[in-house]
Structure 1
Amino acid sequence: MEPRRCFGSCTGCGKAVFAAGGACQAMGHLFHNTCFTCSVCNKQLKGQPFFTVSGHIYCEDDFLFSGVHPSEETCYSCGSSITDLVLQARGKSYHPSCFRCVVCRLELQGQAFAVDSDCRVYCVTDYHRVRSPLCGACGMPILPTEGSAESVRVASSNKYYHVECYSGEVSLI
């Protein structure tokens, strides 16, 4: 009779694992199938969704409904708990419907956005409209051309001008 091959030690019980079919790997460790269980209800978890918190393993039901899961996220914008989808932006958590432009209130999930020096969030269009420098001749904002993220302007005597509004000589610095 051929000697049994040892695959290693079970992380759960510390005993040798001899039968590959009676074992599983999870989180980089080897377990007997009977040892890889939920720490609340002892349900076997091989091939099942599971969660770990502070080194304990939980089945999906116990993780979600027994109070062992980490505390809920709080929306930075409205201050309410986020119980479903969490949008992460600027290192903060938001309800997707709360992450909006401060001017037009457009939802910005999946959209390009800009942030001013006071950490207010804008859609790109409103950011340029509100934060762009004003032309020293006509007083209108100097906005990027259609399809561009940059605006072309002339700087002279500590003022900015639309190229078409500037009538003086350009000073080279």
Structure 2
Amino acid sequence: MTTEPSFEPCVNCSGGVYGGGQACRAMGKLYHDSCFICSVCDQRLQEQSFYSVSGKLFCEDHFKHSEAHPSTQTCDSCGFLIKDTVLQAFGSCYHPGCFCCVICCQSLEGALFFLDSTNRVYCLKDYQRYVAPICATCCRPILPSEGSAVTERIVSMNRDYHVDCFQ
């Protein structure tokens, strides 16, 4: 009388798993190495971060973009779901580190920032250097007065002037 060797089936494919070199155990379950994969991109998940939701496995990137992720807010800059702090500006949501100057990439969380005519965001230094209109009289940038969010300027004959510089 011969007996069949006992085996544990793979949770994913139900096939027999023979030998430790072709298997891995995760969450108390046994998988073939080739079956322990992201349900979206088929990337192997062994030795990396993964998520299990309703029996489906996800690599970290696809979990962030999946309906299984508990957050519905996506970052307007990078496109990933926002799991923690949401920074909102101009009707868009951002990770705090993604809300940054388009020139120097400095984070603008809690900092003074400026917009150009196409709503691109700048730190004060880069706005002054690249975007702010220059006064035709004093040759300095025309910026909002301290404590104000509104820039006051006079435009005459296609030239920009500070209100005090226009004569």
Q: TM-score range with shorter-chain normalisation?
A: 0.3 to 0.5
Q: Which has the larger radius of gyration?
A: 1
